[in-house]
Amino acid sequence: MSADRIDVIIHPQSVVHSLVEYADGSTLAQLGPPDMRAPIACAWAWPGRMSWAAPTLDLAAIGQLTFEAPDEIRFPALAMARRALEAGAGAPAAMNAANEVAVGAFLDRRLGFLDIARAVSETLEQLNGRGELEAGSDDEAVEWALAIDEAARRLAAQVLSRFERMA
Protein backbone atom coordinates (compact mmCIF):
# COMPACT_ATOMS: atom_id res chain seq x y z
CA MET A 1 0.00 0.00 0.00
CA SER A 2 1.34 3.43 -0.83
CA ALA A 3 2.28 5.77 2.01
CA ASP A 4 -0.22 8.41 0.88
CA ARG A 5 -3.09 6.02 1.73
CA ILE A 6 -2.02 5.68 5.39
CA ASP A 7 -2.79 8.20 8.10
CA VAL A 8 -1.67 8.15 11.72
CA ILE A 9 -3.60 9.54 14.67
CA ILE A 10 -2.85 9.47 18.38
CA HIS A 11 -5.50 7.75 20.47
CA PRO A 12 -4.57 7.96 24.18
CA GLN A 13 -7.09 5.35 25.35
CA SER A 14 -5.49 2.69 23.09
CA VAL A 15 -8.89 1.11 22.35
CA VAL A 16 -9.13 1.78 18.60
CA HIS A 17 -6.45 -0.41 17.02
CA SER A 18 -7.17 0.39 13.38
CA LEU A 19 -9.53 2.34 11.14
CA VAL A 20 -10.33 1.56 7.52
CA GLU A 21 -12.00 4.19 5.36
CA TYR A 22 -14.15 2.88 2.52
CA ALA A 23 -14.86 4.43 -0.88
CA ASP A 24 -18.34 5.45 0.30
CA GLY A 25 -16.81 7.59 3.07
CA SER A 26 -17.74 5.24 5.92
CA THR A 27 -15.06 4.10 8.37
CA LEU A 28 -14.79 0.73 10.06
CA ALA A 29 -12.96 0.62 13.41
CA GLN A 30 -11.35 -2.38 15.07
CA LEU A 31 -11.77 -1.80 18.81
CA GLY A 32 -10.61 -3.84 21.75
CA PRO A 33 -9.19 -3.53 25.23
CA PRO A 34 -5.84 -1.71 25.39
CA ASP A 35 -4.02 -5.00 24.90
CA MET A 36 -2.25 -5.88 21.65
CA ARG A 37 -3.17 -9.57 21.86
CA ALA A 38 -6.59 -8.89 20.30
CA PRO A 39 -5.39 -7.06 17.15
CA ILE A 40 -2.57 -9.60 16.73
CA ALA A 41 -5.08 -12.47 16.98
CA CYS A 42 -7.27 -10.64 14.45
CA ALA A 43 -4.35 -10.38 12.01
CA TRP A 44 -3.26 -14.00 12.49
CA ALA A 45 -6.70 -15.42 11.90
CA TRP A 46 -7.67 -13.13 9.00
CA PRO A 47 -10.09 -13.48 7.32
CA GLY A 48 -11.52 -15.69 10.07
CA ARG A 49 -11.66 -15.11 13.81
CA MET A 50 -9.69 -16.85 16.55
CA SER A 51 -11.52 -18.04 19.65
CA TRP A 52 -9.64 -17.20 22.84
CA ALA A 53 -10.26 -15.84 26.34
CA ALA A 54 -10.12 -12.22 25.25
CA PRO A 55 -10.84 -9.53 27.83
CA THR A 56 -14.08 -7.66 27.23
CA LEU A 57 -14.22 -4.03 26.19
CA ASP A 58 -16.27 -1.84 28.53
CA LEU A 59 -16.87 1.37 26.57
CA ALA A 60 -19.09 2.80 29.32
CA ALA A 61 -16.22 2.53 31.80
CA ILE A 62 -13.84 4.19 29.32
CA GLY A 63 -16.32 7.02 28.84
CA GLN A 64 -14.93 8.68 25.75
CA LEU A 65 -12.54 8.11 22.88
CA THR A 66 -10.25 10.95 21.87
CA PHE A 67 -7.97 11.43 18.89
CA GLU A 68 -5.30 13.97 17.99
CA ALA A 69 -2.86 14.60 15.18
CA PRO A 70 0.65 13.29 15.82
CA ASP A 71 3.54 15.65 16.45
CA GLU A 72 6.33 14.31 14.23
CA ILE A 73 8.91 16.18 16.32
CA ARG A 74 7.81 14.26 19.43
CA PHE A 75 7.37 11.05 17.41
CA PRO A 76 10.29 11.00 14.93
CA ALA A 77 9.72 7.34 14.06
CA LEU A 78 6.56 8.32 12.15
CA ALA A 79 8.49 10.25 9.51
CA MET A 80 11.10 7.51 9.43
CA ALA A 81 8.39 4.88 8.84
CA ARG A 82 6.94 6.92 5.97
CA ARG A 83 10.38 7.20 4.39
CA ALA A 84 10.91 3.44 4.76
CA LEU A 85 7.52 2.71 3.23
CA GLU A 86 8.22 5.08 0.32
CA ALA A 87 11.68 3.55 -0.19
CA GLY A 88 10.09 0.12 -0.39
CA ALA A 89 12.21 -2.97 -1.00
CA GLY A 90 13.69 -4.08 2.34
CA ALA A 91 13.44 -0.77 4.21
CA PRO A 92 10.16 -1.48 6.09
CA ALA A 93 11.34 -4.95 7.19
CA ALA A 94 14.72 -3.55 8.24
CA MET A 95 13.09 -0.74 10.19
CA ASN A 96 10.89 -3.22 12.03
CA ALA A 97 13.83 -5.47 12.91
CA ALA A 98 16.02 -2.57 14.06
CA ASN A 99 13.14 -1.18 16.11
CA GLU A 100 12.62 -4.53 17.86
CA VAL A 101 16.31 -4.65 18.79
CA ALA A 102 16.30 -1.04 20.01
CA VAL A 103 13.08 -1.45 22.02
CA GLY A 104 14.52 -4.61 23.56
CA ALA A 105 17.60 -2.65 24.63
CA PHE A 106 15.34 0.07 26.07
CA LEU A 107 13.32 -2.50 28.03
CA ASP A 108 16.60 -3.97 29.32
CA ARG A 109 17.57 -0.43 30.39
CA ARG A 110 20.58 -0.37 28.06
CA LEU A 111 19.22 2.42 25.86
CA GLY A 112 17.33 5.63 26.55
CA PHE A 113 13.83 6.02 25.14
CA LEU A 114 14.83 8.98 22.97
CA ASP A 115 17.70 6.95 21.50
CA ILE A 116 15.39 4.30 19.99
CA ALA A 117 14.55 6.32 16.86
CA ARG A 118 18.15 7.51 16.47
CA ALA A 119 19.45 3.93 16.62
CA VAL A 120 16.86 2.71 14.10
CA SER A 121 17.58 5.62 11.76
CA GLU A 122 21.33 4.99 11.88
CA THR A 123 20.79 1.30 11.18
CA LEU A 124 18.63 2.08 8.14
CA GLU A 125 21.12 4.62 6.81
CA GLN A 126 23.99 2.14 7.07
CA LEU A 127 22.03 -0.70 5.47
CA ASN A 128 20.95 1.56 2.62
CA GLY A 129 24.51 2.79 2.14
CA ARG A 130 25.68 -0.80 1.77
CA GLY A 131 22.96 -1.58 -0.76
CA GLU A 132 21.54 -4.28 1.54
CA LEU A 133 17.93 -3.15 1.16
CA GLU A 134 17.61 -4.00 -2.54
CA ALA A 135 14.64 -6.17 -3.51
CA GLY A 136 15.10 -9.89 -4.05
CA SER A 137 13.29 -11.96 -6.66
CA ASP A 138 9.70 -13.09 -6.11
CA ASP A 139 10.87 -16.73 -6.00
CA GLU A 140 13.15 -15.93 -3.07
CA ALA A 141 10.91 -13.43 -1.25
CA VAL A 142 10.78 -15.24 2.10
CA GLU A 143 14.51 -15.94 2.18
CA TRP A 144 15.22 -12.35 1.16
CA ALA A 145 12.94 -10.93 3.87
CA LEU A 146 14.60 -13.13 6.50
CA ALA A 147 18.04 -12.04 5.30
CA ILE A 148 17.04 -8.37 5.55
CA ASP A 149 15.67 -8.98 9.06
CA GLU A 150 18.86 -10.75 10.16
CA ALA A 151 21.16 -8.09 8.67
CA ALA A 152 19.17 -5.28 10.31
CA ARG A 153 19.20 -7.00 13.71
CA ARG A 154 22.93 -7.65 13.50
CA LEU A 155 23.71 -4.07 12.46
CA ALA A 156 21.30 -2.61 15.04
CA ALA A 157 23.16 -4.52 17.76
CA GLN A 158 26.42 -2.95 16.54
CA VAL A 159 24.84 0.51 16.48
CA LEU A 160 23.46 -0.01 19.99
CA SER A 161 26.86 -1.00 21.32
CA ARG A 162 28.13 2.46 20.29
CA PHE A 163 25.12 4.13 21.97
CA GLU A 164 25.71 2.12 25.15
CA ARG A 165 29.37 3.19 25.29
CA MET A 166 28.30 6.84 25.01
CA ALA A 167 25.84 6.52 27.93
Range 132-148 average pLDDT: 76
8 Å CB contact between 44 and 50: yes
| pLDDT confidence of residue 167 | 56
Q: Who wins on pLDDT, 60 or 89? A: 60
| pLDDT confidence of residue 166 | 65
**E strand or H helix that includes residue 146:** helix 141-166
| pLDDT confidence of residue 162 | 84
SS3 (DSSP) at 68: strand
* Residues ≥6 apart with Cβ < 8 Å to 1: none
8 Å CB contact between 94 and 134: no
Is pLDDT at 35 greater than 70 in this prediction?
yes
| pLDDT confidence of residue 165 | 63
Select from 147, 91, 146, 145 the least CA-distant residue to 123: 91
Dist. CA 46–CA 38, nearest whole Å: 12
62-112 per-position pLDDT tens digit: 999 999 999 988 888 999 998 898 888 889 999 999 999 999 999 999 999
8 Å CB contact between 5 and 58: no
For all residues of the chain together, what is the average pLDDT? 88
SS3 (DSSP) at 27: strand
Select from 14, 10, 6 the least CA-distant residue to 68: 10
Q: Domain segments of the chain: what residues?
A: 3-62, 76-166
| pLDDT confidence of residue 123 | 94
Q: Which CATH architecture has domain 76-166?
A: Orthogonal Bundle (1.10)
Q: Is the peptide bond before 47 cis (omega within 30 degrees of 0)?
A: yes
The tally of CA atoms less than 13 A away on the side-chain side of residue 52 is 13
Query: 27-31 and 16-21 as β-strands: parallel, antiparallel, unpaired?
Result: antiparallel
Range 53-57 average pLDDT: 86
pTM here is 0.74
| pLDDT confidence of residue 69 | 95
| pLDDT confidence of residue 3 | 79
Give the whole-number percent of the chain exceeding pLDDT 70: 91
